[in-house]
Structure 1
Amino acid sequence: MKRLGPVLLFITIVVLMIYKLQIPLSQQVNSSNSNTNHLIVAHRGASGYAPEHTIASYELGEKVNGSYIEIDLQMTKDGHLVAMHDETVDRTTNGTGFVKDITLDEIKKLDAGSWFNDMYPEYANEAFKELEVPTLEEIFQTFGNDANYYIETKSPIKYRNMEEKLLELLDIYQLTSHNDDTNHVIIQSFSSESLEKIHELNPNIPLVQLLAYTGKASISDKQLAAIKKYAIGIAPNFPSINQAYVEKARKSGLDIHPYTINDKEEMENALLWGVTGVFTNDPELFQNVLNTYNRMENVAGKE
């Protein structure tokens, strides 16, 4: 094999060293990306190419290498868990009002897809018109208990017994007991109280603490230790973190899945820093970047 130049060789060796420090949860995951050690979370489905949090978006996310379907949960007036990022239906449907004030029947009458065609005409599709807001149960029925789900409890303080309803559905669809060798479900939240409640109710479900920073991110050993009591990882907003932050989290024994990375250069940086997964609107792009990363690692290992 032709010898690499000294600069490229140095880079690949550094990449390999960083990689060997990782012991990610995703090694336990049964997914189509089993040749990698990184979670690829299809952010709100493949939301860069289809209306977020619709069955169409989730299906596309699976097709373009998303190893996990990300589902944000809100709860209707009559107690049904539905997939929606916002507390209101205003942005992603043709309706208005808070989810908590609307019944499931009323939400099912809304158009959850046409807005995407108007906002992103380059990806418009007639099939997106009149898409429904799916319930969590419908998502489980569609994708089954061999799919991988990354579920967020949104605004849980506003929804009584959200956690209990979520765990009940996971049990019904055998997502907490099916196939003990894999983790088909990860639950995330910005609410530590919600995660601690879930951990108390079922300590076997992997949990991830979402974190949001307005400036440069900083996290103390005390904070990391507190999170480790109930969670297996953290998920900070990527623009606020750096390599030192990632390395500190990894040294504490936590996984780190930053959000939301859609730029190729940022994906490359995230991998070099040692993240164990990413949230992205473009799973296919990340898979391509990851493939290049893995090839570099293989070359470094042969030198």
Structure 2
Amino acid sequence: MLHLSLASLLSLTSLTGCISGSYPDSADAGTVSTPSRVSDLTYPITISHRGGADVYPEESMEGFTASAKDGFLPEMDIQFLSDGTPVLIHDDTADRTLNGASGKIRDLTLDEWDSATIKNPTGGPEAETVTLDELLDELGGDVVMVPEIKPGATSAEVNQVLDEFDERGLTDSLIVQSFDFEAAKTIAARGYSSLYLTEATLPKESTNEITDAGIEWVGPSFKLPNQDLRTLINAGLKVVPYTMPTAGDGHRLPHGVAGFFTNDAWTN
């Protein structure tokens, strides 16, 4: 599959202003604002949920690259094809976001995945589907990214993904997420910044259990009451609620959050 490289996209935007008239204006060509190391982040951070799913085709290289160039942390979801290839899509089925493929992601072949396209939320051009390898070839080590290993992944698949990150030397370039506490523990034990995702209630694990597992980040629903968000913040956890409609909605969160997820990082 052919994807624009970051350098090519920067060159293109210098000529056109943006990749499509329906897309937001980007940072000056030639600049990449997102740090390459977690240790270099400044807070609060803005995490571009699914690569900016309300602005760009969901989980597309265009969205990931534009997010990184404009200073946002690209976020993506990892599912697995029938042959075990890790690919980037939120749902466990293709129907909502893809054209040219349907049914369970785990039933699709790589050829079927490659021939599908990602729907555009604004009615513009569709985008090519993206494998994890393609993303890491494009942006791995250049910007901090926030991949989620989706629920349903086996422990072997969790380790498969982490092994690939290890091979590319990405320990300090990723914040790896999971809704599964055991997977989040494994992520932390493997030396990665681990983000434990929770719902609109406090996690069933105590804050001591979370921190004792080496987990530094918690991602609750933004609907979690502010007093509960403060409980997590006061425990010393980096709290990044999901998913604000736009970056401008971040003001609704209490002081002390480390950042937030948003489907539109460009609208303040």
Length-normalised TM-score, structure 2: 0.79
How many aligned residue pairs are there?
Answer: 231
Matches of 2:182 and 2:70, distance apart in 1: 34
Take 2:37 and 2:258, find their aligned partners in 1: how far apart are those partners? 10
Matched, 1:284 2:262: no
Shift of 1:124: 3.2
Does the residue aligned with 1:249 lie in a helix, a strand or coil?
helix
**Among residues 228, 240, 247, which one is paired with 2:230 in the alignment?**
247
The higher radius of gyration belongs to 1
Gaps of 5+ in 1: 1-25, 177-182, 289-303
Secondary structure of the 1:227 match is: helix
Choose from 124, 143, 166 the match for 1:171. 166
Equivalent positions of 1:22-41 (< 5 A) are 29-30=39-40, 36-41=42-47
Which residue of 78, 82, 85 corresponds with 2:87?
Answer: 82
- SS of the equivalent of 2:67 reads helix
Q: Which has the higher contact order (CA 8 A, sep 6+)?
A: 1
| Post-superposition offset of 1:227 | 1.4
| Alignment check: 8 A CA contact 1:27 1:37 kept | no
State the 1:233 CA deviation. 1.7
Question: Which secondary structure does the structure 2 equivalent of 1:73 belong to?
Answer: strand
Cα 1:37/1:97, change in 2 over 3 Å:
same
Q: Which amino acid aligns with 1:124?
A: G
Counterparts in 2 of 1:189 and 1:263: CA distance versus 1, 3 Å: same
- 2:6 — aligned with what? none
Give 1:143's aligned amino acid. L
Give the superposed CA RMSD: 2.2
Deviations 1:167-214 (A, max 9, x none): 1211222212xxxxxx311111111121223334x1x2110110012x
Residue 262 in 1 paired to residue 245 in 2? yes
Would you say the 8 A contact 1:246–1:273 is kept in 2? Answer: no
- 2:27 maps to none
Residue 268 of structure 1 aligns with an amino acid whose one-letter code is H
Query: 1:239 aligns to what SS in structure 2?
Result: coil
Deviation of residue 27 (structure 1)?
Answer: 10
Give, in whole Å, the separation in 1 of the partners of 2:175 and 2:234.
21
Cα distance 1:37–1:80, how it changes in 2: closer, same or farther (>3 A)?
same
- Select the structure that is richer in helix: 1
Q: Deviations over 1:8-54 (max 9, x none)?
A: xxxxxxxxxxxxxxxxxx995436xxxx4212111000222111111
Q: Are residues 1:207 and 2:207 paired?
A: no
Find the counterpart in structure 2 of residue 234 from structure 1: 218
User: Where do 5+ consecutive residues of structure 2 fail to align?
Assistant: 1-35
Q: TM-score with structure 1 length normalisation?
A: 0.70
- Displacement, 1:138? 0.4
Is 2:185–2:194's contact at 8 Å kept on the other side of the alignment?
Answer: no
